[in-house]
Structure 1
C-alpha cells in the first residue's frame, strides 16, 4: 500500500498588475489561497500540513472560511461559488452561479448566514449578496460601472457592505436587504482592496494611486488617510487589519510591506517597514497580497513566495515558503551534501529543491531563465532544454548553477536522457532523430527517418532506445559518434511516451499513449512483466526504485501505479488521484519512498509498504 507522507504545496497564482486576496482562520492559524482549479489550505505553524480542494471546473480566484471555521466558500473565473465542508470528505453543501464573469472577492457575514461576492459581469451586475443555504438574493447593488475588485462585510451590527473597483469608486450599502447608501470617489485609480476593522468602527481602502483612505464604518464618510510622506511608491494591492484593530499592513508594487498605526483622529502613521532579507529586488519581489492573522503577518510576492513575519517581535527573522506556481513537468532525486534532494522543474523555468521532512529549501539560481521543456539531473549537474533549440549542461554547486554556454541541437528537443555512469554522454531526441552530446560538444546529429517521440540512453552509454509514433522501440548500439540499429521491438499499440532503464541496467521499461507499460529484459529483449494495463489514459512518466525491484508509472488519469518485479501486474499498488490534472513526474527517493508531481504544481511524497 501507499501512504501519503508529505505534500509540498504550490504557491498562490498571481498576475502582474493585480492584487490577490488571501484569507485566514484565526482559530487554527490556517490560510487559504488559490492555484489553478484548486484551493489550498495550509497552517502557518506547520506549512507541510496541507489540504487541497480540487472540485472546481474552472480556475479558482478566492476562498474564505466561514465564521465558525467549518465551511469554505470558494469562487472561480466562471462566476461560480462552491460552499463545502472544510473537514472530512469536504462534502459540497451548495453551488451557485453568482456572477456572469470572474469573481474577485467574497466575504461571509459575521453571523455566517450570508455571502457577498464581487467581480466582473454583464451590464451592471458586479456585486451580489445571497443566503448561503438557499442562494436567494438579499439586496440590490447599483452604483458601479466597471469590475468590482473587492468587497467587505461589516463584522458587527448594523450590517453594512462596502465595495470598490476599477471605476475608482467606493460604494456603501445598508441592509439587509442591502441598498445603495452613498458613493465616495477619493481615489484616482483602481481601488484594489477594502477591509473593515475587527470592531466594525472603520474600514480602509487601498488603491493603485498609492493611497490608503480610512472611513467611518457606520456612515461611510471619510475620516483620514495613511501618511503620504512615508507612503508607498507604487500601487497598493492589499490591506489587512491587526487583531486589535489598531494597525494595518499594506503591500505594494514597490516591493515593500508597511505597518501603520491608526491614530485616534482616523489617520495612519508609519510604524515600520517590513524587510525580507531574502528578496533579490527583481520583478517577482513585488508584493501583491497580505494577511494579518494573530501574531503572523503574511505577505505574498508576485513570484508566489509566502513570507511570514512576527507581529509582536520585529527583530525575529521572517520565514519564507515558495514552490511552483505552474504545473510541474519533471522530477528527479539527487544526492547533495550527503542529503537526498528532490528537484522539480516547471515549464516557466522554475527548478525547486525539496528535502523530505523539511520541504522547500530553495530554488536553483540559473543564468538561463528561459522556459524548461526537458529536464534531467545528476548529483553534480543538470541538463535542460527550452523551446529555442538549445540545451544547457550546467554544473551544480548547492543552489547555484554554473556559468556555461548552451548547445544548439538544430531543432526543438522532445526529450533528454543522461548516461548516469558515463555522465558526459547525453542523448537528445528531436522530431526526426537524436543528437548525441559529449560534455559541452555535439558529437553527432542523426536523422532516423521516422517520427521520434522519446529516447533513453543506457547507464554506461553504450546503448540507446528510441521510441516513435508508430509504437515501435528501436534499439541502437552506440560506438563513438555512430548509432547502429540492433533490434526493433513491437508490443505497444500506441505512441511511445516514456522509456527508462533500470538502475542495474538489466531491464528497461516503456510506456505509451494507449495507457500500457511493458518491462523488458535488456539482454534477451523479451517481455519480463506485461499486462500493465491499469491506467485509463496516457502514461506520462516512469521511474525505477534504486534496487531495480519496483517500477512506477504516472499517467494523465491522475494516478500513480507501482508494480513489483516477480509478481503479477494485478498485485499492483495504485495511488488514485495523486495529482489533479495528471501526473508528469515521479522519482524514487529510496526503496520505500516515492515522490510524485503533476499539473497541480504540488510535490507529494508517498511511503510504500509491501502488500
Structure 2
C-alpha cells in the first residue's frame, strides 16, 4: 500500500494591520505568489484554473516578501530574519509539485524583516529592502551574492523597491521616512532623495512597464508621479482615496495605473487625465475589507483585503471573491460532498470536494459576529448538521452557513463528541451533555485533567486521565445522566492524549504524549503496542470504515497508516505538512480493494488531498 498526494488547497495571503502586502505576478505563466506564515504560495491567477498549487516551506522564520523573476523561472523570498532564498519556480506537472522546490542560493542580507524584493530585467540582480539595524537595503547578484551597489538615503524602514524594466537600469525605494530615493546602476548608487512630496509613510512604488514613469503611494492618501529615467518629480495627486493607499500597479500598456486603499476601493488612473474609474469591494467596507495588496493580471485586477480575501475585478465589476483560511487549520469535518475546516483565528470555511481535488470555491461560514472570535478547537457532524467549539468558550450549531443555536461554556473546551441523541463537550475537568438544540442535559466533574473523549456506544464513553496515565469509563444513564464507572484500564507509559474507537465498536486505539498507540479490545484488553512509528505527539487519527486501518497524523509532520492485521507494518508519508498534521478525514474508501481518498490539514494553513493505493 502507498499514499499518493493529489491536490493542495492553499491558504490565503498573510496580512498585517497597517502594512501593505506585496503580491507578485508572473505574467509569463499567469501565476500569483504570496506569503503565508513560514510558507510561500504559488497559485494560478485565474480562479477557474486547475493548474497545480506549489507550497514552498524551506524558511525557518515567517516569510515577509516574495517576487517572481521576470522570466518566471525563479522566485526570491525573504523572511523576518533578513534571509533571502532564491528557488526554482518553473511550472511543473503531476507529482512534481509535491516535491520541495530546489533552492538555488540563499543569503543573509539584512538583520531584520525583508519588506520588498525587486529583480532586474536580466534575471540576474536583486534588491531587497526592509527593516534592518545596520542598513535598510541590499543589492546583490542572485547566484553569487556579491554586492552590486549600496542602498542608502533612507533614515527609516524601506517599505518597497522597484527596478526600471529596461536599460539603463534605475531603482526607486520608498519608506517610513516619507521619502522616495532614486538610484542609478548597476552597480546601484544613490542619485537623489525626494522629500516633501509625501507627508506620511510611503507604502509602495512601481515603474511603468515602458520605464517612462514612477508612481508612489502612501498613508497620506497621495499619489506622486516621477520621471522614470531621471527620478524628477512631475506631479502629485492629493486625497486620491478616503484612506491610506497601500499598493499601486501599472497596466501592461503603461497608459494606466491602479491603486488599492484602506477605504476598500480600487481606482484606475491616467498620468495625463487623472482619475478614470472607482470600484469598491463593498458599499460600506469593514476593517477586514481594507485593501492592502494589488496585482494587475492579463484578465483581472486582483485586490487583497486585510481579511485575506482576493477580489477579482474585470471591466470594473467584481467577478469573484476568493475566500479561505489565513491562519493554521485546526480541525476538519466531512459530509459528502462538503468539507468544513476551522482555523486558529476562528474562521470556518466550507469547501466542495471532488475525486480530482478540492473545488476552488471555498466560502467562509457565518457573517461578522457569528464566527468564533478565537481558536476553533473541534468540529463535529451530527445528523447532517455542523457543531463547533472554540476558545471563546462557546458551542455553536450551524445550518445553511449561519449559526442556528449557541451556548456559553463554563470554561475552555477540549473536544466534541456525539453520543446517541446528545452532544458531549469535554472541558478541562468536566464533561457536559447537551441535546441537539444545545440545551444542557447533564454535567459530570472529574478530580483529574482530561484532553480527549470518545464514545464506545450510545451509552458509554471513554475519557483520558492525564494524572494517572490511564482511561476512565463514563456511562449515560437513561440517556441523560452522566456517571463514572468502576471499569479499570491498563496504565500507559505517558499520559494518554487521543482515543479513537473503530466503526464496528470492537477496538479502540489510544495514543500517548509520545505518539505511541496502544490498541485495545472493547473490553479493555490489550491487542497490540506495536503502533509506535510517530516520533512525537499524534494530533488526530481516523479509522477506515472497515475497521482494519487507522490513519494518523501529528506533530512530526508525517502520515502513518497502521494495520490491525499486521501491526508491525506501517505505510508512511513523512513531511506531509510543514509544522505538523492537525486533522484528518476520509473522503472515500473501498473496503474490498482497501483503496480510497482522504484529506489532511496542517499548521501550514493548507488542506491536502491524498489517495490510498494498493
Give the TM-score, by structure 2 length: 0.91
Cα distance, 1:141 vs structure 2: 2.3
Structure 2 CA distance for partners of 1:393 and 1:90, relative to 1, 3 Å: closer
Give the whole-Å Cα distance in 1 for the aligned partners of 2:168 and 2:71.
20
Structure 2 CA distance for partners of 1:56 and 1:368, relative to 1, 3 Å: closer
Question: Of 234, 244, 248, which residue of structure 2 is paired with 1:239?
Answer: 248
Are 2:28 and 1:24 aligned?
Answer: no
Question: Of 86, 89, 96, which residue of structure 1 is paired with 2:89?
Answer: 86
Partner of 2:303: 299
Cα distance, 1:135 vs structure 2: 1.3
Report 1:320-335 matches (<5 A): 320-334=321-335
Contact 1:552 1:560 in 2 (8 A): yes
Aligned Cα RMSD in Å?
2.1
Partner of 2:93: none
**Cα offsets for 1:195-220 (capped at 9, x unmatched):** 11111111100010111111100111
Give the whole-Å Cα distance in 2 for the aligned partners of 1:9 and 1:300.
15
Partner of 1:443: 441
Partner of 1:484: 484
Give the whole-Å Cα distance in 1 for the aligned partners of 2:67 and 2:491.
51
Cα distance, 1:573 vs structure 2: 2.2
**Cα offsets for 1:259-283 (capped at 9, x unmatched):** 22332xxxx5222223446x87321
Report 1:41-440 matches (<5 A): 41-45=42-46, 46=49, 49-87=52-90, 90-123=101-134, 125-185=135-195, 186-226=197-237, 228=239, 231-263=240-272, 269-276=274-281, 281-310=285-314, 313-314=315-316, 317-334=318-335, 339-357=336-354, 358-365=359-366, 367-378=370-381, 380-388=384-392, 390-397=393-400, 399-402=401-404, 404-408=405-409, 410-419=410-419, 422-423=420-421, 425-439=422-436, 440=438
Question: Which moved further from structure 2: 464-473 or 300-309?
Answer: 464-473
Question: Of 444, 451, 454, which residue of structure 2 is paired with 1:453?
Answer: 451
Structure 2 CA distance for partners of 1:395 and 1:161, relative to 1, 3 Å: closer
Question: Which moved further from structure 2: 442-451 or 459-468?
Answer: 459-468
Cα distance, 1:501 vs structure 2: 2.4
| SS at 1:93 equivalent | strand
| SS at 1:284 equivalent | helix
Cα distance, 1:590 vs structure 2: 1.9
Contact 1:141 1:179 in 2 (8 A): yes
List runs of 5+ in structure 2 lacking aligned partners: 91-95, 590-595
Contact 1:10 1:324 in 2 (8 A): yes
Contact 1:261 1:271 in 2 (8 A): yes
**Cα offsets for 1:525-579 (capped at 9, x unmatched):** 233454111111111111123343332111100011122333x134322222111
List runs of 5+ in structure 1 lacking aligned partners: none
Contact 1:156 1:200 in 2 (8 A): yes
Partner of 1:557: 556
| SS at 2:362 equivalent | strand
Contact 1:467 1:499 in 2 (8 A): no
Give the whole-Å Cα distance in 2 for the aligned partners of 1:350 and 1:405.
16
Structure 2 CA distance for partners of 1:535 and 1:280, relative to 1, 3 Å: farther
Structure 2 CA distance for partners of 1:163 and 1:377, relative to 1, 3 Å: same
Give the whole-Å Cα distance in 2 for the aligned partners of 1:462 and 1:492.
21
Structure 2 CA distance for partners of 1:249 and 1:73, relative to 1, 3 Å: same
Contact 1:466 1:475 in 2 (8 A): no
Question: Which moved further from structure 2: 196-205 or 456-465?
Answer: 456-465
Structure 2 CA distance for partners of 1:430 and 1:182, relative to 1, 3 Å: same
Structure 2 CA distance for partners of 1:548 and 1:150, relative to 1, 3 Å: same
Structure 2 CA distance for partners of 1:467 and 1:249, relative to 1, 3 Å: farther
Structure 2 CA distance for partners of 1:173 and 1:471, relative to 1, 3 Å: same
Cα distance, 1:435 vs structure 2: 2.4
Contact 1:595 1:604 in 2 (8 A): yes
Cα distance, 1:368 vs structure 2: 4.7
